[in-house]
Amino acid sequence: MKKVSVLILALSTIFFVSCESDDKPVDFVLDNYTSGAVLRTRNIEGNPFNAFDPASVFTVTVEEQDVEQGALLSSVDLYMSFTDNQDDPNDASVAEQLVSSFPASAFTTGSRGLPELTYAITLAESATALGVGTNYSGGDVFSYRFVVNLTDGTSWTDVNGNGNILGGSYFSSPYLYNVVVACIPLGPVPGDYQLDMQDSYGDGWNGASVRVTVDGVATDYLITSAQGASNSETFTIPDTATTVTFEYISGDWDSEVTYQLYAPNGKIAYEDGPSPFVGDFSGSLSICP
């Protein structure tokens, strides 16, 4: 049996046309070499998920193409899995499971005359489908793998397509989509924060400070000359807060300054120095629920 990888490589050296404007390279392979199937990515949105918004949506539109221009399509299966990337002893990862199957009748005819399907799922729906509940956080990954089943009995997915099919410009058919969970606060995150500060020379921060402003009331946190090399402060963002900003105010010797800000979950939300970024760093915080 001819190797798909060799055939696709040969194809890529001959044809230099866009799959948007001309599908002849795809047709040439499907007609002359193997009765396979391509599940091409047409559009993708919503990666990453937002841990603060269970309703955040991942959407992908895929297009199926085979030697009969979609006539061989029987169904497409969807498998899901969850990877727990948290640095703790509890591994909540969930192995791949079949969660849905789409018959050919579920596909519409796209603008290119080929079967097309748009699949959308929220973070909450993904977690429920795998039994994860709310046990996810920043850096975790939900994976969605599609398997194309043809009427001739063959199935096609990421394990039997080569690099040109999975990611090449003609095919753009990865079959597998990994959606990361990010932590993007929709507003102030209440709770107790800890700010650890250091001065490498040991004479305080010399006019520098970390300014936290809650609903217009600013508080500066720093190391005094009497404290010398370090200081640690704990402050609370109340549930009633509507606006909160974090800002570094420059001093005379910023090259001596380092600090770490810990979120209510006990993990580092932000750290900087020596010579920290000067100004508002609120948008750079990583705070997971």
The residue whose two tokens read 């499971």 is 97
Phi, psi of 15 (to 5 degrees): -105, 130
Cα separation, 229 vs 257, whole angstroms: 10
Entry pTM: 0.68
Better pLDDT: 166 or 158: 158
Cα-based distances in Å from 277 to 23, 135, 260, 273: 50, 33, 13, 8
The DSSP symbol for 48 reads S
Burial class (CB in 10 A: 0-12, 13-18, 19+), 66: buried
% helix / strand / coil in the chain, to the nearest 5?
15, 40, 45
- Band of residue 12 on the pLDDT scale cut at 50, 70, 90: very low
Is-contact 6 32, C-beta < 8 A?
no
Q: Which of 196, 174, 163, 175 is nearest to 269 (CA)?
A: 196
Q: What is the pLDDT of residue 34?
A: 55
Give tens-digit pLDDT for 121-165. Answer: 999 999 999 999 999 999 999 999 999 999 999 999 988 754 444
Give the domains, in start order, of the chain with CATH numbers: 4-182 (2.60.40), 191-284 (2.60.40)
Ranking 45-59, 91-105, 164-178, 207-221 by mean pLDDT, the lowest is 164-178
Which are the contacts of 192, defined by CB distance < 8 A and separation ≥ 6?
234, 235, 236, 264
